[in-house]
Structure 1
Amino acid sequence: MKRRTFLHTSPALFALPFSPLPRAAAAPRKVALIGCGWYGKSDLMRLIQVADVEVVGLCDVDEHMLAGTERLLRERQPTARPKLYGDYQKLLREQRPEIVLIGTPDHWHALPAIDALAAGAHVYLQKPVGVDIRECEAVLDAARKHGRVVQIGLQRRSTPHLIEAKRDVVEAGRLGKIAHVEMCCYYHMRDTAVREREPVPEFFDYDRWTGPAPLLPYRGLPHRRWRAFQEYGNGIVGDMCVHMLDMTRWMLGLGWPQEVYSTGGIYVQREADATITDTQHVVFAYDGLDCVWQHRSWGEAADPEFPWAMTIYGDRGTLKADPHKYAFTPLRGETVRVDAVYEREEFPEDVTEKNIELHTAPATRAHMLDFLRAIDHGGRPVADIEEGVISTASCILGNLALVAGGPLRYDPVSRQITEGYEELLSRTYRPPYIHP
Structure 2
Amino acid sequence: MGHHNMNRRNFIGSSAALLALTALRANGMNLYNPVSPKRVALIGTGWYGKSDLFRLMQVAPVEIVALCDVDKHQLNTAADMVSERSKTKQKAKLFGDYRQLLSETRPDIVLVGTPDHWHALQTIDALKAGAHVYVQKPISVDIMEGEAMVAAARKYNRIVQVGTQRRSTPHLIEAKKNIVDTGMLGKVHHVEICCYYHMHSNANPPVIPVPDFFDYNMWTGPAPLRPYDGLPHRGWWRGFMEYGNGIMGDMCIHMFDAVRWMLGLGWPLRVSSTGGIYVDNAGKSNITDTQSAIFEYKDLNCIWQHRTWGTAADPEYPWAFKIYGDKGTLCGDVMKYNFIPASDGKKLHGDVLFEKAQYPEDLTEPDIELHVASATRLHMRNFLESIDKGTRPVADIEQGHISTASCILANLSMQLGRSLSYDPLKREITGDPEATRLLQRSYREPWIHPSIQSI
Q: TM-score, normalised by structure 2?
A: 0.91
* Aligned counterparts of 2:349 and 2:210: Cα–Cα separation in 1: 49
- Residue 435 (structure 1) shift: 0.4
* Alignment correspondent of 2:138: 128
Contact 1:58 1:85 in 2 (8 A): yes
Asked if the contact 1:18/1:370 (under 8 Å) is kept, the reply is no
- Superposition deviation, residue 14 in structure 1: 3.1
Rounded to whole Å, the distance in 2 between the matches of 1:362 and 1:416 is 39
Q: Aligned in 2, Cα 1:381/1:18: closer, same or farther, shift over 3 Å?
A: farther
- Aligned residue identity for 1:296: R
Take 1:120 and 1:18, find their aligned partners in 2: how far apart are those partners? 31
- Quote the residue 1:312 is aligned against: 323
Structural mapping, 1:37-436, within 5 Å: 37-77=46-86, 78-223=88-233, 224-331=235-342, 332-418=344-430, 419-420=432-433, 421-436=435-450
Q: Is the 8 A contact 1:266 1:277 kept in 2?
A: yes
Q: Which amino acid in structure 2 is aligned with residue 343 of structure 1?
A: E
Against the structure 1 CA distance between its residues 435 and 17, is the aligned structure 2 distance closer, same or farther, given a 3 Å change threshold? farther
| Distance in structure 2 (CA, Å) of the matches to 1:13 and 1:376 | 23
Moved more, 20-29 or 187-196: 20-29
Q: What are the Cα deviations for residues 294-331 of structure 1, in whole angstroms up to 9, with x where unaligned?
A: 00011111111110000001111111000111011112
Kindly, what percent of the aligned residue pairs are identical? 60
Matched residue of 1:425: which SS? coil
C-alpha deviation, 1:237, in angstroms: 0.3
DSSP-derived class of the 1:282 partner: strand
Give, in angstroms, the shift of residue 138 of structure 1.
0.5
Any idea what SS the aligned residue of 2:288 has? coil
- Deviation of 1:80 (Å): 2.3
Listed as ranges, the gaps of 5+ residues in structure 2 are 1-15, 451-455
How has the CA–CA distance of structure 1 residues 264 and 423 changed in structure 2, closer, same or farther, with 3 Å as cutoff?
same
In structure 1, C-alpha distance between the alignment counterparts of 2:403 and 2:22, rounded to whole Å: 21
- Conserved? CA contact 2:33–2:60, under 8 Å: no
8 Å Cα contact 1:198-1:219 kept in structure 2:
yes
Query: In 2, distance between residues paired with 1:100 and 1:18?
Result: 27
Matches of 1:139 and 1:262, distance apart in 2: 26
Does structure 2 conserve the Cα–Cα contact (< 8 Å) formed by 1:260 and 1:397?
Answer: yes
> Contact between 1:284 and 1:290, CA under 8 Å: does it hold in 2?
yes
**Aligned-partner Cα distance in 2 for 1:393–1:371:** 22
* One-letter code aligned to 2:371: H
SS in 1 for 2:313: coil
SS in 2 for 1:363: helix
The C-alpha deviation readout for 1:65-103, integer Å capped at 9, x for no partner, is 111111111111152220000000000000000000000
CA–CA separation in structure 1 for the residues paired with 2:18 and 2:209: 49
TM-score (norm 1): 0.95
Conserved in 2, the CA contact under 8 Å of 1:266 and 1:279?
A: yes
Contact 2:127–2:133, Cα closer than 8 Å, also in 1: yes
Residue 367 of structure 1: SS of its match in structure 2?
helix
Contact 1:374 1:381 in 2 (8 A): yes
Q: Deviations over 1:136-188 (max 9, x none)?
A: 00100100010000000010001100001001111111111111000000001
Q: Does 1:14 align with 2:28?
A: no
